[in-house]
Structure 1
Amino acid sequence: MTAYEYKVVPAPAKGERARGIKGTEARFSHSLERVMNDMAADGWEYQRAETLPSDERSGLASTVTVWRNVLVFRRGKAGDVAAYQPRKLDAPKPYVLTTPLAEAVHDQQTATGTSDPDQPLAHPMNTLVALPVASTAPPETPRLGETPEVARTARVAATDNGVEETQDLHQMSSILRDRAARLIAAEQPGRS
């Protein structure tokens, strides 16, 4: 477990003047930024801001509670080097050949006459095996318990676009021809 040391500093109460900074908010932000950067340069990590009560004397016999704004910083203790030690990674797992590739290597070793597993292969690039790839085409044979008619209906339903009885239009329908004639007649004055 990492041990930390903490440092509490008073938060700035008013802004500092600086070249190019105008306005009360900008000056206050600049003074807060300066405190944060100074602490970070010394290795302190900002944690939080707190408002805490403080009892102060006021006059001869009375006390007054004043609320103070402070900034809390922390850093790892200098003697705690265990937090900065690198972790050891686990050793990688050995690669295990899959069955088709292992059979191909065995077949090549028997073809070349080398059965020693430590002996390098004659042609290492020839050890690649073309594995069967699943087809994306729909199966032509019906599934178990499915009749050929059901399989054909399922293929047709998969390609259906949802529009019923579509026809290719090679010519305009009579309704469109009649409407076009009426519109043309209405546009030409003098024809009725």
Structure 2
Amino acid sequence: MRRRTRIAAVTAALLITAGAAGSATASGQGPRQQHRHEAAALTGTAKLYRSAGDDITFSFDAHLAAGDTKNPGAATGTFRFSHYLHGKGAWARAKVDCLVTGGEVAVVSGVITDSDLPGAEGRRVGVTVQDLGRHDRLGYSWAATKDLGPRNLPKCVSSAPFEKVRQGTGDFHVVPWRPAL
């Protein structure tokens, strides 16, 4: 009797699993079609690692709709970053104006719309993210400048992802852009 009960339980579990998988496939939400409504995306939040103990955080919610595949300048969303050390620092929020992704790398730019850093509002900045799972990396357009960089920075311009994300904080996710070439 125990054997029959086990077989019935396993069969029921398999049928439930198959039904759930069939529903996901029928609704177009299978693993390969998960992001078919987007041409590209960059999402997530992480803190950067600095040996001096700086508190640096970057958050992204940037998307390029499938209908805009040929126009990365039509990307929408926001990103935010902050940098504090010993209670001093600043934060900024930017409106996305360009998003280009390739494989695990994304470059996003935006114009700062709100900040407590004097002179930051209205400036375009760019950020590069490398989505490496638990070891994400990040770079930014002002990496080699004293302030936020040139006032006439073009869209989708940034530096190589040279910064390391603090262990346990990286959850960046890049949806690769695949324009028809």
TM-score by length of 2: 0.18
Q: Which has the higher helix share?
A: 1
Q: Which has the higher strand share?
A: 2
Q: Which has the higher contact order (CA 8 A, sep 6+)?
A: 2
Larger Rg: 1
